[in-house]
Each structure stands twice: as structure tokens, then as C-alpha cells.
Amino acid sequence: MADTKVRGGTVVDVDPAREPIVVVDDLHIIYRVYGAGGKGNAASAFSRVLRRKNRPSMKEVHAIKGLSFVAYRGEAVGIIGTNGSGKSTLLKAIAGLLPPHSGAVYTDGQPSLLGVNAALMKDLTGERNIVLGCLAMGMTPAQTKAQYQKIVDFAGLKEGFIQYPMRTYSSGMGARLRFAIAAAKTHDVLLIDEALATGDAKFKRKSKKRIEELRKEAGAVFLVAHQLDTVKEMCDRVIWIDEGRMRMDGDPEEVIEAYTEAAGK
Ligand SMILES: Nc1ncnc2c1ncn2[C@@H]1O[C@H](COP(=O)(O)OP(=O)(O)OP(=O)(O)O)[C@@H](O)[C@H]1O
């Protein structure tokens, strides 16, 4: 039997029979952009220099406006919404990379964000990045050694590329390697931002299978993707965010249908 709780105007269903892994409680995230505002033209900048004044104001961007939900063990949650609706901000907040302005995020275990900007070093070879990535995820040197070949095989880069610096990789190749590294470990909470969007059909199939396995072994998986097919295939729940607010939360088919309908208007 689900309890219903009201948080910051959002009704949240809490299922006491399942184990919560991520709890987002009336979360507000505000970015502060310093030096924003003013006319921004050369004349006004010059006049500020003459008057020895700094760029005028500080602007606030209220990116997440009171989100509340609970994700349970074993769930794969897709996050959809238009550009700038707050999807990446939400992932960063769950990963603990952005402090809430108010409200809170609780996670059971360590969240890992696997994004397009995941911290790999472009000037180092794929090989070195695998080793560094594994160590950075907390693996021991022995575990890293044991996983190395599996990661290379999973990434499936063209012959020899693993010995080239990552700056020579296409965006798809980089994404494959990042995913392969992150997927080598069981994560308590795995957060994926667009990492699969650039992979080809075969790689997507492999990734989907791996995400399924991770879901069984781990806590919860969150996936942000612009390709709705990917979300539909990989997730068993979808959250639609609109201008930082929850618009819908539920069955992927239903949420995606409503979203596509709204986008068509
Ligand atoms: N570092 C930042 N500083 C200031 N504002 C930011 C910053 N990052 C994002 N924003 C703003 O916060 C809002 C939400 O951005 P976010 O990147 O979370 O959206 P998104 O849904 O992931 O978008 P997209 O689909 O384009 O990736 C936008 O208005 C954006 O301009």
C-alpha cells in the first residue's frame, strides 16, 4: 500500500514495501551567474572601465523548482524534457555535484555520474584512461588489471585505437569507452547523461544488456537521453521535467506519449 506525502506542492507516492535508493525532497537548485546582465555592448563596457565599475549584476537561474520523488532499488528511471528543462542539473544534484538551494537529495550508497564530460584525459591514450578511470572509481590495481581486457572488448574500438590519445577519437568512440569504463563496476546509483546517444545500434544493444545487469546487481539507474526510443527501451519508469518542475512520473509508454503530444503542439 503506497503512502501519499505532499512535498512543496508535489504529491509523492511512497511505497513502504520497496527499498528506497534515491529520495529527492522538495529540491531547489539555483545557479548564480556573476557579471551577467547589463547591455553587454562595447560602449557600455568601455564606460564601465572608465568609471572603474564591475559588470553590474548577478543573475540567478532557478533550474530545479521543488522536485520530489523516490526511486527504488532495481529501477531504471528515464528523465526527459525539452532543452534547458533541468535534466542534467537534476543528475548533477543526485550525484552530489551541485549543492541544493533548499530541499535535499538522499542516496543509499555512492552515486556515479557517467556523462559526456566524464573526467577522462584527452591527451592520454585509451589504455591510460582505462587504468585511471578504474582507479578513480575505487578499484584496486589488481581489480583494474582484471577488468582491463573486458573494458577494451566492450568498447570495441577499431584496431589499435586503444593506444591512441583520446583526442583522436570521434565523439561516438569516446562515449563507448566512457561507458565501457563506467559499466565495469557495479554502482550503487548509476547516472547516465546522453552517453549512449552517440553509440551505433550494436553498441546500444550491448549497453542495454549491461544496464539490465547493473540494475540487477546495483541500486538504481538514471538515464537522460534525447532519444525517446532509448528511454523507452531501457527504462521502466520515466520522469518528465518541464521548466524545473515535475510534469509527469510513471510508465514510459504513457509519459512519452504525453510528452510527444505536448511537443507536437
Ligand atoms: N552552470 C550553469 N550556470 C548557469 N545556468 C545554468 C548552468 N547550467 C545550466 N544552467 C541553466 O539551468 C537550466 C537547466 O539546464 P540543464 O542543463 O539542466 O537543462 P537540460 O534539460 O539538461 O538541457 P539539455 O536538454 O539542453 O541538455 C537552463 O536554464 C540552463 O540555462
Domain ranges of the chain: 74-110+187-264
Give, in order, the Cα–Cα distances in Å from 130 to each of 26, 120, 138, 139, 173.
37, 9, 13, 11, 14
Which among 234, 258, 235 is positioned nearest to 246, based on CA atoms? Answer: 258
| Best of 27, 30, 31 for a ligand 1 pocket test (most atoms within 8 Å of beta carbon) | 31
pLDDT mean over 175-180? 86
The residue that leads in pLDDT, 150 or 265, is 150
- Give the model confidence (pLDDT) of 217-260 as tens digits: 778 889 887 778 878 888 899 999 999 999 999 999 999 999 99
Of ligand 1's atoms, which has the minimum distance to the CA of residue 32?
4
What is the distance in A from the centroid of ligand 1 to the CA of 149?
37
Q: Which segments of the chain are extended strands (E)?
A: 3-7, 10-14, 20-34, 58-72, 76-80, 102-107, 111-115, 189-193, 220-224, 237-242, 245-250
- So what's the pLDDT on residue 87? 94
**245-250 and 237-242 beta bridge pairing:** antiparallel
* 0.95 surpassed by complex ipTM: yes
Of ligand 1's atoms, which has the minimum distance to the CA of residue 92?
18
40 — alpha (psi -120 to 50), left (phi > 0) or beta? Answer: left
Of ligand 1's atoms, which has the minimum distance to the CA of residue 91?
18
Of ligand 1's atoms, which has the minimum distance to the CA of residue 31?
4
Find the angle CA(103)-CA(109)-CA(113) to the nearest 5 degrees: 75
Q: Amino acid identity, residue 86? A: G
What is the distance in A from the centroid of ligand 1 to the CA of 218?
28
| Best of 58, 59, 61, 228 for a ligand 1 pocket test (most atoms within 8 Å of beta carbon) | 61
- So what's the pLDDT on residue 1? 47
Q: Are 58 and 32 in contact (CB under 8 A)?
A: yes
Under DSSP, is residue 93 helix (H, G, I), strand (E, B) or coil?
A: helix
Of ligand 1's atoms, which has the minimum distance to the CA of residue 90?
18
Q: What is the mean pLDDT of the chain?
A: 84
Residues with CB under 6 A from ligand 1: 31, 33, 61, 63, 81, 83-89
- So what's the pLDDT on residue 172? 82
pLDDT mean over 176-192? 85
The residue that leads in pLDDT, 100 or 200, is 100
pLDDT mean over 164-179? 88
What is the distance in A from the centroid of ligand 1 to the CA of 89?
6
What is the distance in A from the centroid of ligand 1 to the CA of 87?
8
Q: What is the pTM of this model?
A: 0.80
Residues 233, 246, 223, 4, CA torsion sign: negative
Of ligand 1's atoms, which has the minimum distance to the CA of residue 194?
27
Which among 38, 31, 32 is positioned nearest to 58, based on CA atoms? Answer: 32
| Best of 60, 65, 85, 101 for a ligand 1 pocket test (most atoms within 8 Å of beta carbon) | 85
In angstroms, rounded to a whole number, what is the distance separating the alpha carbons of residues 128 and 242?
40
Q: Are 120 and 180 in contact (CB under 8 A)?
A: no
Find the angle CA(197)-CA(91)-CA(73) to the nearest 5 degrees: 95
Three cell numbers written together for 51: 568609471
All residues at 6 or more sequence positions from 22 whose CB lies less than 8 Å from its CB, including other chains: 70, 71, 94, 105, 106, 107, 108, 111, 189, 219, 220, 222
In angstroms, rounded to a whole number, what is the distance separating the alpha carbons of residues 81 and 262?
11
Burial of 193 from C-beta contacts in 10 A (0-12 / 13-18 / 19+): buried
Whether pLDDT at 31 is above 90? yes
- Give the model confidence (pLDDT) of 115-151 as tens digits: 545 567 889 999 999 999 888 888 899 999 999 999 9
Nearest CA, atom 14, ligand 1: 86
Whether pLDDT at 155 is above 60? yes
The CATH number assigned to the domain with range 74-110+187-264 reads 3.40.50.300
| Best of 88, 222, 223 for a ligand 1 pocket test (most atoms within 8 Å of beta carbon) | 88
The count of other CB atoms within 10 Å of the CB of residue 18 is 14
